[in-house]
A = this chain, B = another copy of it.
Protein backbone atom coordinates (compact mmCIF):
# COMPACT_ATOMS: atom_id res chain seq x y z
CA UNK A 1 0.00 0.00 0.00
CA UNK A 2 1.10 3.59 -0.68
CA UNK A 3 2.74 4.78 2.57
CA UNK A 4 0.60 7.94 2.22
CA UNK A 5 -2.31 5.77 3.33
CA UNK A 6 -0.66 5.26 6.73
CA UNK A 7 0.03 8.98 7.15
CA UNK A 8 -3.62 9.60 6.43
CA UNK A 9 -4.55 6.80 8.80
CA UNK A 10 -2.55 8.34 11.63
CA UNK A 11 -4.02 11.72 10.85
CA UNK A 12 -7.45 10.24 11.58
CA UNK A 13 -6.43 8.89 14.99
CA UNK A 14 -7.66 11.11 17.79
CA UNK A 15 -4.86 11.71 20.27
CA UNK A 16 -1.93 11.16 17.91
CA UNK A 17 -0.67 14.55 16.87
CA UNK A 18 2.67 15.77 15.54
CA UNK A 19 4.62 15.00 18.74
CA UNK A 20 3.40 11.40 19.19
CA UNK A 21 3.72 10.66 15.50
CA UNK A 22 7.30 11.96 15.57
CA UNK A 23 8.00 9.63 18.52
CA UNK A 24 6.45 6.66 16.70
CA UNK A 25 8.48 7.35 13.56
CA UNK A 26 11.64 7.62 15.65
CA UNK A 27 10.82 4.30 17.31
CA UNK A 28 9.70 2.31 14.27
CA UNK A 29 11.69 3.93 11.50
CA UNK A 30 8.96 4.11 8.86
CA UNK A 31 5.32 5.10 8.77
CA UNK A 32 4.39 1.59 7.60
CA UNK A 33 6.15 -0.05 10.52
CA UNK A 34 4.55 2.39 12.95
CA UNK A 35 1.06 1.78 11.61
CA UNK A 36 1.48 -1.98 11.56
CA UNK A 37 3.29 -2.28 14.93
CA UNK A 38 1.82 -4.82 17.35
CA UNK A 39 0.02 -3.53 20.41
CA UNK A 40 2.75 -4.49 22.90
CA UNK A 41 5.42 -2.79 20.79
CA UNK A 42 3.33 0.40 20.80
CA UNK A 43 3.05 0.24 24.56
CA UNK A 44 6.72 -0.58 24.80
CA UNK A 45 7.78 2.63 23.04
CA UNK A 46 5.77 4.61 25.58
CA UNK A 47 2.51 5.33 23.77
CA UNK A 48 -0.16 5.87 26.41
CA UNK A 49 -3.03 3.40 26.79
CA UNK A 50 -5.62 5.77 25.39
CA UNK A 51 -3.69 6.55 22.22
CA UNK A 52 -2.95 2.86 21.72
CA UNK A 53 -6.59 1.97 21.89
CA UNK A 54 -7.52 4.86 19.56
CA UNK A 55 -4.90 3.65 17.12
CA UNK A 56 -6.06 0.03 17.26
CA UNK A 57 -9.64 1.12 16.74
CA UNK A 58 -8.64 3.28 13.77
CA UNK A 59 -6.69 0.43 12.20
CA UNK A 60 -9.72 -1.82 12.43
CA UNK A 61 -12.26 0.82 11.41
CA UNK A 62 -10.55 2.85 8.68
CA UNK A 63 -10.71 1.89 5.03
CA UNK A 64 -7.39 3.35 3.96
CA UNK A 65 -7.67 2.54 0.25
CA UNK A 66 -11.05 4.27 0.25
CA UNK A 67 -9.53 7.30 1.96
CA UNK A 68 -6.82 7.46 -0.70
CA UNK A 69 -9.39 7.15 -3.45
CA UNK A 70 -11.52 9.88 -1.93
CA UNK A 71 -8.55 12.24 -1.86
CA UNK A 72 -7.74 11.48 -5.45
CA UNK A 73 -11.34 11.92 -6.55
CA UNK A 74 -11.42 15.32 -4.84
CA UNK A 75 -8.32 16.41 -6.75
CA UNK A 76 -6.57 16.98 -3.45
CA UNK A 77 -2.89 16.40 -2.73
CA UNK A 78 -1.90 15.16 0.69
CA UNK A 79 1.62 16.30 1.55
CA UNK A 80 3.50 14.63 4.37
CA UNK A 81 6.58 15.64 6.34
CA UNK A 82 8.85 13.57 4.12
CA UNK A 83 7.37 14.88 0.90
CA UNK A 84 9.76 17.30 -0.81
CA UNK A 85 6.70 19.30 -1.87
CA UNK A 86 5.74 19.85 1.78
CA UNK A 87 6.32 23.56 2.52
CA UNK A 88 9.76 23.42 4.09
CA UNK A 89 9.32 26.63 6.04
CA UNK A 90 6.33 25.12 7.84
CA UNK A 91 8.60 22.31 9.00
CA UNK A 92 10.49 24.82 11.13
CA UNK A 93 7.65 25.11 13.66
CA UNK A 94 7.39 22.83 16.69
CA UNK A 95 4.35 20.90 15.59
CA UNK A 96 4.01 20.96 11.81
CA UNK A 97 0.94 19.04 10.66
CA UNK A 98 1.99 15.51 9.58
CA UNK A 99 -0.39 15.72 6.64
CA UNK A 100 -1.28 18.87 4.76
CA UNK A 101 -4.23 18.51 2.40
CA UNK A 102 -3.90 20.86 -0.52
CA UNK A 103 -6.56 21.83 -3.02
CA UNK A 104 -4.90 23.92 -5.65
CA UNK A 105 -1.15 24.25 -5.78
CA UNK A 106 1.57 25.27 -3.36
CA UNK A 107 4.56 26.63 -5.23
CA UNK A 108 8.12 27.29 -4.24
CA UNK A 109 7.51 31.02 -4.43
CA UNK A 110 4.86 30.64 -1.71
CA UNK A 111 7.81 30.41 0.66
CA UNK A 112 7.70 34.24 0.48
CA UNK A 113 4.41 34.44 2.27
CA UNK A 114 2.98 36.94 4.68
CA UNK A 115 -0.23 36.34 6.62
CA UNK A 116 -2.86 39.07 6.66
CA UNK A 117 -5.45 38.37 9.34
CA UNK A 118 -8.00 40.11 11.49
CA UNK A 119 -11.43 40.29 12.98
CA UNK A 120 -14.54 38.89 11.33
CA UNK A 121 -16.39 42.09 12.26
CA UNK A 122 -14.15 44.40 10.30
CA UNK A 123 -14.74 48.13 10.05
CA UNK A 124 -14.61 50.07 6.81
CA UNK A 125 -11.11 51.17 7.85
CA UNK A 126 -9.97 47.62 8.54
CA UNK A 127 -11.26 46.36 5.21
CA UNK A 128 -9.54 49.15 3.36
CA UNK A 129 -6.27 48.61 5.20
CA UNK A 130 -6.43 44.86 4.48
CA UNK A 131 -7.16 45.57 0.83
CA UNK A 132 -4.32 48.04 0.36
CA UNK A 133 -1.71 46.02 2.24
CA UNK A 134 -2.59 42.63 0.72
CA UNK A 135 -2.79 44.16 -2.71
CA UNK A 136 0.58 45.95 -2.46
CA UNK A 137 2.29 42.90 -0.98
CA UNK A 138 0.82 40.61 -3.64
CA UNK A 139 2.04 42.96 -6.35
CA UNK A 140 5.50 42.81 -4.79
CA UNK A 141 5.48 39.04 -5.29
CA UNK A 142 4.44 38.04 -1.77
CA UNK A 143 1.92 35.22 -1.31
CA UNK A 144 -0.91 36.28 1.02
CA UNK A 145 -1.87 33.67 3.61
CA UNK A 146 -5.09 33.98 5.59
CA UNK A 147 -7.95 32.00 7.09
CA UNK A 148 -10.88 32.50 4.67
CA UNK A 149 -12.95 33.98 7.51
CA UNK A 150 -15.43 36.79 7.00
CA UNK A 151 -14.07 40.30 7.32
CA UNK A 152 -10.34 40.95 7.16
CA UNK A 153 -9.36 37.44 5.98
CA UNK A 154 -11.73 37.38 3.03
CA UNK A 155 -10.71 40.91 2.09
CA UNK A 156 -7.03 39.97 2.12
CA UNK A 157 -7.55 36.92 -0.14
CA UNK A 158 -9.76 38.94 -2.48
CA UNK A 159 -7.25 41.79 -2.75
CA UNK A 160 -4.38 39.39 -3.50
CA UNK A 161 -6.41 37.79 -6.29
CA UNK A 162 -7.50 41.15 -7.70
CA UNK A 163 -3.87 42.26 -7.72
CA UNK A 164 -2.98 39.22 -9.80
CA UNK A 165 -1.05 37.66 -6.94
CA UNK A 166 -1.07 34.36 -5.12
CA UNK A 167 -2.96 33.54 -1.95
CA UNK A 168 -3.28 30.56 0.38
CA UNK A 169 -6.23 29.92 2.69
CA UNK A 170 -5.74 27.69 5.71
CA UNK A 171 -9.01 26.10 6.77
CA UNK A 172 -10.31 24.76 10.07
CA UNK A 173 -12.29 22.15 8.13
CA UNK A 174 -11.52 19.69 5.35
CA UNK A 175 -10.54 21.43 2.13
CA UNK A 176 -13.78 20.08 0.65
CA UNK A 177 -15.90 21.84 3.27
CA UNK A 178 -15.94 25.58 2.70
CA UNK A 179 -16.83 27.72 5.68
CA UNK A 180 -18.33 30.24 5.77
CA UNK A 181 -20.56 29.32 2.88
CA UNK A 182 -20.61 32.89 1.57
CA UNK A 183 -16.91 32.53 0.72
CA UNK A 184 -17.31 29.47 -1.55
CA UNK A 185 -16.81 31.47 -4.70
CA UNK A 186 -13.72 33.09 -3.21
CA UNK A 187 -12.44 29.64 -2.16
CA UNK A 188 -12.81 28.39 -5.71
CA UNK A 189 -10.73 31.26 -7.03
CA UNK A 190 -8.11 30.70 -4.34
CA UNK A 191 -7.82 27.03 -5.31
CA UNK A 192 -7.27 28.22 -8.88
CA UNK A 193 -4.62 30.83 -8.07
CA UNK A 194 -3.06 29.46 -4.92
CA UNK A 195 -4.29 26.82 -2.53
CA UNK A 196 -6.76 25.85 0.10
CA UNK A 197 -4.86 23.91 2.75
CA UNK A 198 -5.84 22.10 5.92
CA UNK A 199 -4.48 19.55 8.29
CA UNK A 200 -7.96 18.08 8.67
CA UNK A 201 -9.10 15.14 6.59
CA UNK A 202 -11.70 15.50 3.90
CA UNK A 203 -15.20 15.92 5.23
CA UNK A 204 -14.05 17.40 8.54
CA UNK A 205 -16.60 19.96 9.76
CA UNK A 206 -15.46 23.44 10.84
CA UNK A 207 -15.65 22.76 14.56
CA UNK A 208 -14.74 25.68 16.80
CA UNK A 209 -11.91 23.73 18.41
CA UNK A 210 -10.22 23.34 15.02
CA UNK A 211 -9.54 27.04 14.59
CA UNK A 212 -6.93 27.83 17.21
CA UNK A 213 -4.60 25.00 16.01
CA UNK A 214 -5.36 26.05 12.43
CA UNK A 215 -3.91 29.47 13.24
CA UNK A 216 -0.47 27.98 13.91
CA UNK A 217 -0.39 26.87 10.27
CA UNK A 218 -1.29 30.37 9.04
CA UNK A 219 1.69 31.79 10.92
CA UNK A 220 3.87 28.74 10.26
CA UNK A 221 3.53 29.15 6.50
CA UNK A 222 4.42 32.84 6.73
CA UNK A 223 7.51 35.00 7.25
CA UNK A 224 5.40 37.42 9.23
CA UNK A 225 1.82 37.93 10.37
CA UNK A 226 0.03 41.25 9.92
CA UNK A 227 -2.90 41.76 12.25
CA UNK A 228 -4.99 44.38 10.46
CA UNK A 229 -7.79 44.84 12.93
CA UNK A 230 -8.61 42.94 16.10
CA UNK A 231 -10.82 43.53 19.08
CA UNK A 232 -9.84 42.33 22.52
CA UNK A 233 -10.81 38.73 21.84
CA UNK A 234 -10.07 38.29 18.17
CA UNK A 235 -8.66 34.96 17.00
CA UNK A 236 -6.12 36.99 15.06
CA UNK A 237 -4.40 37.63 18.39
CA UNK A 238 -3.93 33.85 18.75
CA UNK A 239 -2.27 33.82 15.35
CA UNK A 240 -0.01 36.65 16.53
CA UNK A 241 0.91 34.61 19.61
CA UNK A 242 1.77 31.60 17.44
CA UNK A 243 3.81 33.82 15.16
CA UNK A 244 5.85 35.13 18.08
CA UNK A 245 6.39 31.58 19.40
CA UNK A 246 7.46 30.40 15.98
CA UNK A 247 9.91 33.25 15.56
CA UNK A 248 7.83 34.89 12.84
CA UNK A 249 7.63 38.68 12.79
CA UNK A 250 4.43 40.11 14.27
CA UNK A 251 3.05 43.19 12.55
CA UNK A 252 0.00 45.23 13.44
CA UNK A 253 -1.83 48.07 11.74
CA UNK A 254 -2.30 51.02 14.11
CA UNK A 255 -5.70 52.64 14.41
CA UNK A 256 -7.64 55.20 16.40
CA UNK A 257 -7.50 54.66 20.15
CA UNK A 258 -11.29 54.87 20.39
CA UNK A 259 -11.87 52.22 17.69
CA UNK A 260 -12.84 48.83 19.11
CA UNK A 261 -11.23 47.07 16.18
CA UNK A 262 -7.89 48.74 16.78
CA UNK A 263 -7.64 47.91 20.47
CA UNK A 264 -6.00 44.58 19.81
CA UNK A 265 -3.62 45.92 17.18
CA UNK A 266 -2.61 49.00 19.16
CA UNK A 267 -1.93 46.75 22.14
CA UNK A 268 0.18 44.45 20.03
CA UNK A 269 2.23 47.46 18.97
CA UNK A 270 2.52 48.64 22.55
CA UNK A 271 3.76 45.17 23.44
CA UNK A 272 6.40 45.18 20.73
CA UNK A 273 4.78 44.29 17.40
CA UNK A 274 6.03 46.19 14.35
CA UNK A 275 3.58 48.90 13.29
CA UNK A 276 2.61 48.70 9.63
CA UNK A 277 1.97 51.97 7.85
CA UNK A 278 2.40 50.52 4.39
CA UNK A 279 3.42 47.30 2.64
CA UNK A 280 6.94 48.67 2.45
CA UNK A 281 7.30 48.51 6.23
CA UNK A 282 6.66 44.78 6.02
CA UNK A 283 8.96 44.19 3.09
CA UNK A 284 11.76 46.11 4.79
CA UNK A 285 11.50 44.40 8.13
CA UNK A 286 11.41 41.00 6.43
CA UNK A 287 14.25 41.90 4.12
CA UNK A 288 11.91 41.13 1.28
CA UNK A 289 12.12 44.32 -0.72
CA UNK A 290 13.66 42.23 -3.45
CA UNK A 291 11.03 39.50 -3.50
CA UNK A 292 10.16 40.23 -7.09
CA UNK A 293 13.78 39.65 -8.05
CA UNK A 294 14.00 36.61 -5.80
CA UNK A 295 10.96 35.16 -7.47
CA UNK A 296 12.49 35.74 -10.85
CA UNK A 297 15.81 34.19 -9.82
CA UNK A 298 13.86 31.33 -8.40
CA UNK A 299 12.36 30.48 -11.77
CA UNK A 300 15.75 28.89 -12.13
CA UNK A 301 14.88 26.56 -9.26
CA UNK A 302 12.66 23.50 -9.55
CA UNK A 303 9.08 24.65 -9.80
CA UNK A 304 7.27 21.60 -8.48
CA UNK A 305 7.82 18.54 -6.36
CA UNK A 306 8.76 16.27 -9.26
CA UNK A 307 11.38 18.68 -10.48
CA UNK A 308 12.66 19.07 -6.92
CA UNK A 309 12.91 15.30 -6.52
CA UNK A 310 14.82 14.89 -9.76
CA UNK A 311 17.08 17.78 -8.90
CA UNK A 312 18.02 16.05 -5.68
CA UNK A 313 19.11 12.97 -7.58
CA UNK A 314 21.32 14.88 -9.95
CA UNK A 315 24.81 16.15 -9.39
CA UNK A 316 27.90 16.91 -11.45
CA UNK A 317 28.19 13.18 -11.92
CA UNK A 318 26.17 12.17 -15.03
CA UNK A 319 23.19 9.95 -14.08
CA UNK A 320 21.15 7.84 -16.49
CA UNK A 321 17.41 8.46 -16.77
CA UNK A 322 16.65 4.87 -15.72
CA UNK A 323 18.82 5.18 -12.66
CA UNK A 324 17.16 8.48 -11.69
CA UNK A 325 13.70 7.00 -12.29
CA UNK A 326 14.43 4.05 -9.99
CA UNK A 327 15.76 6.34 -7.28
CA UNK A 328 12.66 8.52 -7.24
CA UNK A 329 10.21 5.67 -7.90
CA UNK A 330 8.54 7.48 -10.79
CA UNK A 331 7.65 6.15 -14.27
CA UNK A 332 10.47 6.63 -16.77
CA UNK A 333 8.14 8.54 -19.08
CA UNK A 334 7.49 11.13 -16.37
CA UNK A 335 11.17 11.37 -15.54
CA UNK A 336 12.18 11.85 -19.18
CA UNK A 337 9.59 14.48 -19.98
CA UNK A 338 10.28 16.38 -16.76
CA UNK A 339 14.02 16.36 -17.35
CA UNK A 340 13.45 17.62 -20.88
CA UNK A 341 11.45 20.55 -19.50
CA UNK A 342 14.07 21.19 -16.86
CA UNK A 343 16.71 21.34 -19.55
CA UNK A 344 14.69 24.00 -21.35
CA UNK A 345 14.64 26.00 -18.11
CA UNK A 346 18.36 25.65 -17.78
CA UNK A 347 18.16 23.58 -14.62
CA UNK A 348 19.80 20.41 -15.95
CA UNK A 349 21.97 19.48 -18.85
CA UNK A 350 21.93 16.31 -20.95
CA UNK A 351 25.49 15.13 -21.41
CA UNK A 352 24.63 12.47 -23.96
CA UNK A 353 23.41 8.88 -23.73
CA UNK A 354 20.29 9.85 -21.72
CA UNK A 355 22.57 10.99 -18.92
CA UNK A 356 21.92 14.23 -17.03
CA UNK A 357 23.86 16.54 -14.72
CA UNK A 358 22.76 19.60 -12.77
CA UNK A 359 23.28 22.74 -14.78
CA UNK A 360 24.44 24.56 -11.68
CA UNK A 361 24.32 24.28 -7.92
CA UNK A 362 20.75 25.09 -6.90
CA UNK A 363 20.06 26.88 -3.65
CA UNK A 364 18.27 25.01 -0.91
CA UNK A 365 14.61 24.58 -1.69
CA UNK A 366 11.95 26.79 -0.16
CA UNK A 367 14.45 28.86 1.77
CA UNK A 368 14.84 32.60 1.71
CA UNK A 369 18.18 33.98 2.69
* A residues adjacent to B (C-beta < 8 A): 125, 128-129, 253-259, 262-263, 266-267, 269-270, 274-278, 281
Q: Is the CB of A276 within 8 A of B256?
A: no
Q: Cβ of A266: which chain B residues have Cβ within 8 Å of it? A: 254, 275, 277
Report A350 CB to chain B, min CB distance, Å.
53
Q: Cβ of A262: which chain B residues have Cβ within 8 Å of it? A: 254
Given A270-B281, A281-B270, the answer on whether A276 and B257 have CB atoms closer than 8 Å is yes
Q: Is the CB of B257 within 8 A of A129?
A: yes
Report A191 CB to chain B, min CB distance, Å.
31
Report A135 CB to chain B, min CB distance, Å.
14
Q: Which of B263, B267, B277 contacts A267 (CB 8 A)?
A: B277
Q: Whole-angstrom distance between the alpha carbons of A278 and B263 in the complex? A: 11
Q: Cβ of A263: which chain B residues have Cβ within 8 Å of it? A: 277
Q: Is the CB of B258 within 8 A of A275?
A: no
Q: Cβ of A128: which chain B residues have Cβ within 8 Å of it? A: 258
Q: Is the CB of B256 within 8 A of A256?
A: yes
Q: Cβ of A254: which chain B residues have Cβ within 8 Å of it? A: 254-257, 262, 266, 269, 275
Report A246 CB to chain B, min CB distance, Å.
23
Q: Cβ of A275: which chain B residues have Cβ within 8 Å of it? A: 254, 266, 269-270, 275
Q: Whole-angstrom distance between the alpha carbons of A278 and B275 in the complex? A: 18
Report A133 CB to chain B, min CB distance, Å.
9
> Residue of B at shortest CB range from A263?
B277
Q: Report the 9 A-B pairs with minimum CB-CB distance, sorted nearest first.
A: A254-B254, A270-B275, A269-B275, A266-B277, A257-B277, A254-B266, A125-B256, A255-B256, A256-B256
Report A137 CB to chain B, min CB distance, Å.
14
Q: Offer 25 A-B interface pairs, CB within 8 angstroms, sorted by A.
A: A125-B256, A125-B258, A129-B257, A129-B258, A254-B254, A254-B255, A254-B256, A254-B257, A254-B262, A254-B266, A254-B269, A254-B275, A255-B255, A255-B256, A256-B256, A256-B259, A257-B276, A263-B277, A266-B275, A266-B277, A269-B275, A270-B274, A270-B275, A270-B277, A270-B281
Report A230 CB to chain B, min CB distance, Å.
13
> Residue of B at shortest CB range from A269?
B275
> Residue of B at shortest CB range from A257?
B277
> Residue of B at shortest CB range from A265?
B254
Q: Whole-angstrom distance between the alpha carbons of A246 and B123 in the complex? A: 40
Q: Whole-angstrom distance between the alpha carbons of A255 and B257 in the complex? A: 7
Q: Whole-angstrom distance between the alpha carbons of A276 and B269 in the complex? A: 10
Report A251 CB to chain B, min CB distance, Å.
11
Report A255 CB to chain B, min CB distance, Å.
5
> Residue of B at shortest CB range from A259?
B256
Supplied contacts A129-B256, A129-B257, A256-B259, 18 more A-B pairs, CB within 8 Å:
A125-B256, A125-B258, A128-B258, A253-B257, A254-B254, A254-B255, A254-B257, A254-B266, A254-B269, A254-B275, A257-B277, A263-B277, A266-B275, A266-B277, A267-B277, A269-B275, A270-B277, A275-B275
Q: Cβ of A253: which chain B residues have Cβ within 8 Å of it? A: 257
Q: Whole-angstrom distance between the alpha carbons of A223 and B267 in the complex? A: 23
Q: Cβ of A277: which chain B residues have Cβ within 8 Å of it? A: 257, 263, 266-267, 270
Q: Whole-angstrom distance between the alpha carbons of A208 and B128 in the complex? A: 39
